[in-house]
Amino acid sequence: MESPNVHDFYDTRALLSDEERQVQDMVRRFVDEKVLPVIAHAFEEHRFPKELIPTIAEMGLLGCNLEGYDCPGLNNVSYGLICQELERGDSGIRSFVSVQGSLCMYPIHAYGTEEQKKKWLPQMHRGRVIGCFGLTEPDGGSDPGTMKTHAKKQGGDWVINGAKMWITNGTIADIAIVWASTDEGVRGFIIEKGMPGYTSRDILRKMSLRASVTSELFFENVRVPEASRLPKAAGLGGPLSCLTQARYGITWGAIGAAEACLDEALTFTKQRVLFGRPLSHTQTIQRRLADCVRRITAAKLMSLQLGRLKDAGKLHHSQVSLAKWNNVRMGLDIARDCRDILGAGGISVECCPIRHMLNLESVITYEGTETIHELVVGREITGHPAF
C-alpha cells in the first residue's frame, strides 16, 4: 500500500473530475509563476498587484461559476479550487476574485435586468470593469439590517446618501453594488464611478491584507436612475445571499493559505538541525505538523462536500457558516503555529506564514465574524436568534 501524500492525506484529488483537476492545476501554475514571485514585495509595499488582473481575466476566473453572458459556468467545486489555489498565493488575490465574481457579478446575475446583465457581466468577466460591494458601514458591519445609507425615490430617480466602510476594491472599482435602506426595505443599486456625489478613498496603514485595496465610499445626494436598481433584490436577503457565495469560496481559500504555511514549516523542520538532530525528528514538532495535516484534511472534506451540496442546489447558508468558521479558524491557527515553528526567521515577510497569519485576521472578521457564524449555527440548531 502506498503512503498517503503529505499534501493531500486523504487523496481528495481522486474525488475530483478531470475538469476540476485541470482548473486547479492551471491556477496552481499561475500562482507559482506569477503570484509568488511578487506577492511578498507587494504586501510590504501595501500595494495590490493590479498588473495580474489581465491574466486572471484571461484564465476566465472572474464570475467563473456563472452561466451565460460570456461566463464559463464552471461548477462550484471548480470555483472553490480556484479560491484555494489563489489564497495559497495570498488572501488579497482571492479577495479580488471573490468580490468581483461572488459579490458584484453574482447580484447582477441573480437580481439584475436583462439590460444590466448584458451591459456589465461580459465586461466584468473580461476584467475590463471592476466592481466593489458596499454593505458595511462605519457604525458596524455585523448588523447590516440597521444600515444608515438611505435611498429616497424622487421622480424616476433615487437619491442616495450615506457611507460605506472597509470596502475591498473600492477606489479601483468602476462600479459599486451598494445596499441602501428605502421606505420599502433594503434595495441594491449599481453606482458608477464618476456619478456626481460619489467619492471614495483608500484605508491605509493596514497590517493585514496589505496586497489588497480597502476603501471608504461616500454618497452625497447621488442621483441614480431606476434603471440602475437591481429590481429582483428585495430585503436583506439580497445582500446576504451574495455573502453566501463569497463565504463559500473563503472556506476553500483558507485551506490554500494553511497549505502554504505547512509546506514552508515542513521544509524548514527537515533542514534545521538542533540538539544534534533535525527538528522534524522531535516529538513536539511532529505532533504540531500532524495536527496541521489533520485540520487541513478535515477542512478539505468539509469544503468538498459543501461544493457538492451547492452544485446539487441543496446548500443551506448555515452550512456555509459552519465551514467559514471552521476553515478560517483552522487557517489562522495553522499560520500562527507555522510562524512559531520557523523561529525568528518566521517574523520576516520572506517567510509566508506571517503574511498569511496577518491576512487571515481580516478573513476571520470579514464576510461575517467568527462569532456571527457561531451564532448563525447556534440559531439553526436551537431555533433561537441570539445575536
Q: Which is nearer to ligand TGC, 250 or 304 (CB)?
A: 250
Q: Which is nearer to ligand TGC, 92 or 346 (CB)?
A: 92
Distance (Å, whole) CA 387 – CA 385: 6
**Where on the phi/psi map is residue 295: left (φ > 0), alpha (ψ -120 to 50), or beta?**
alpha
CB of 287 to ligand TGC, least distance (A): 33
Task: Pick one of 59, 240, 298, 377: the residue that binds ligand TGC (CB under 6 A).
Answer: 240
Burial of 55 (C-beta count, 10 Å sphere; 0-12/13-18/19+)? middle
Q: Is residue 209 near ligand FAD by the rule CB under 6 A?
A: yes
β-bridge pairing 198-202 and 214-225: antiparallel
Q: Which residues, numbered 297-326, are part of the site for ligand TGC (CB under 6 A)?
A: 317
Q: Which amino acid belongs to residue 97?
A: V
* Cβ-Cβ contacts under 8 Å for 72 (sequence gap 6 or more): 60, 64
Do 64 and 109 form a contact (C-beta atoms < 8 A)? no
Q: Is residue 95 near ligand TGC by the rule CB under 6 A?
A: yes
Strand segments (E) across 126-209 = 131-134, 150-154, 157-168, 175-182, 185-192, 198-202
Short-list 191, 184, 173, CA closest to 236: 184
Q: Which residues, numbered 162-221, are part of the site for ligand TGC (CB under 6 A)?
A: 168
Catalytic choice (85, 367, 370, 374): 367
Q: Is residue 142 near ligand TGC by the rule CB under 6 A?
A: yes
Q: Is residue 214 near ligand FAD by the rule CB under 6 A?
A: yes
Stretch that binds ligand TGC, among 23-31, 43-51, 134-142, 322-330 (CB under 6 A): 134-142
Question: Phi then psi for 380, rounded to 5 degrees?
Answer: -65, -40
CB of 220 to ligand TGC, least distance (A): 22
Within a 13 Å sphere around the CA of 281, how many CA atoms are in the beta-carbon half?
Answer: 8
Q: Which is nearer to ligand TGC, 137 or 264 (CB)?
A: 137
Short-list 344, 134, 126, CA closest to 239: 134
* Whether residue 367 lies in the annotated active site: yes
Q: Which is nearer to ligand TGC, 149 or 244 (CB)?
A: 244
Task: Pick one of 23, 82, 93, 99: the residue that binds ligand FAD (CB under 6 A).
Answer: 99
Q: Which residues bind ligand TGC (CB under 6 A)?
A: 95, 98-99, 133, 135-136, 141-145, 168, 235-237, 240-241, 243-244, 246, 317, 366-368, 372, 376, 385, 387
Q: Which residues bind ligand FAD (CB under 6 A)?
A: 99, 133-136, 140-142, 166-168, 209, 214, 362, 365-367, 369, 371-372, 387
